[in-house]
Amino acid sequence: MAGSLVTLLLLRKLRVHSLDKTGLKHAAEDLAARARDFSPNVIIGIRSGGYHVAKIMAETTPQAALLGITCRRPSTQKKQRYSIFKRLLCKLPHFITDRLRLLEHIIITSLCVPKRTALIPDAGELAAIEHTLQRVGGAARILIVDDAVDSGSTIAAVHKAIKNIANPSAVIKIAAITVTTTTPFIEPDFSLYRYVLCRFLWSLDSKSGSCADF
């Protein structure tokens, strides 16, 4: 009974929002505006979605070095293997895929116990970031960017890795277009939405252009 009540409450809060190329550009620019006072000189985008957002944000912050870091959940890697499933989702109407998104999100984040998974950022990309931070020196203002924060385990792992290689005087902040849960492992400093499941261009069920674009 309690589980059913929690599910109903979450369904009332959650909504799905589609972002085409124009919508994504505007969202990333709005996110960059929120982080403007921080004035980052290093922007790190979590691949793949977060890097696309970071790339747009970097266009409004030309003084910042742009780098990418790979750190995916096992479930994300598994999803990317199902090309047939991906093509099917692209053809389904959004009123169906919206409900599938809501159901998946509730099962993963609410009916299961959130836990940190063993995520290790790509060693080569981390070395490139370390080299850039050494060049910037102790005055580094680092902005880590992701498209969405669910449990927060991915961005928490990246934040920890960057903190370990950065100068102690460096300032690290986090930005994401949306935060979909109440208590992620790490809370972004800048975000646009809460309890919004964004359908990005690279999402499995995106109809904005080819699903293979990202």
For range 143-171, the mean pLDDT = 95
**Peptide bond connecting 48 to the previous residue in cis, omega within 30 degrees of 0:** yes
Domain annotation covers residue 78: no
Domain annotation covers residue 212: no
Instruction: Give the integer Cα–Cα distance in Å for 131 and 128.
Output: 5
State the pTM of this model.
0.84
* Token pair for 170: 């460096």
Helices and strands in the chain, H and E counts: 8, 7
Local confidence band at 207 (pLDDT 50, 70, 90 cut-offs): confident
Domain annotation covers residue 77: no
Domain annotation covers residue 194: yes
Domain annotation covers residue 33: yes
Domain total for the chain?
A: 1
2-6, 23-27, 81-85, 150-154: the lowest-pLDDT one = 2-6
Q: Given this model, what pLDDT does residue 111 score?
A: 56
* Residue range 87-126, pLDDT digits in tens: 566 677 777 888 887 877 777 766 555 566 678 899 999 9
For range 155-178, the mean pLDDT = 96
CATH code of the domain in which 113 resides: 3.40.50.2020
Residue 35 DSSP label: T
Mean pLDDT of the chain: 84
Statement: residue 186 has pLDDT above 70: yes
Domain annotation covers residue 35: yes
Q: Given this model, what pLDDT does residue 106 score?
A: 75
Domain annotation covers residue 214: no
Write out the residue range of the structural domain in which residue 99 sits: 2-71+83-199
Domain annotation covers residue 76: no
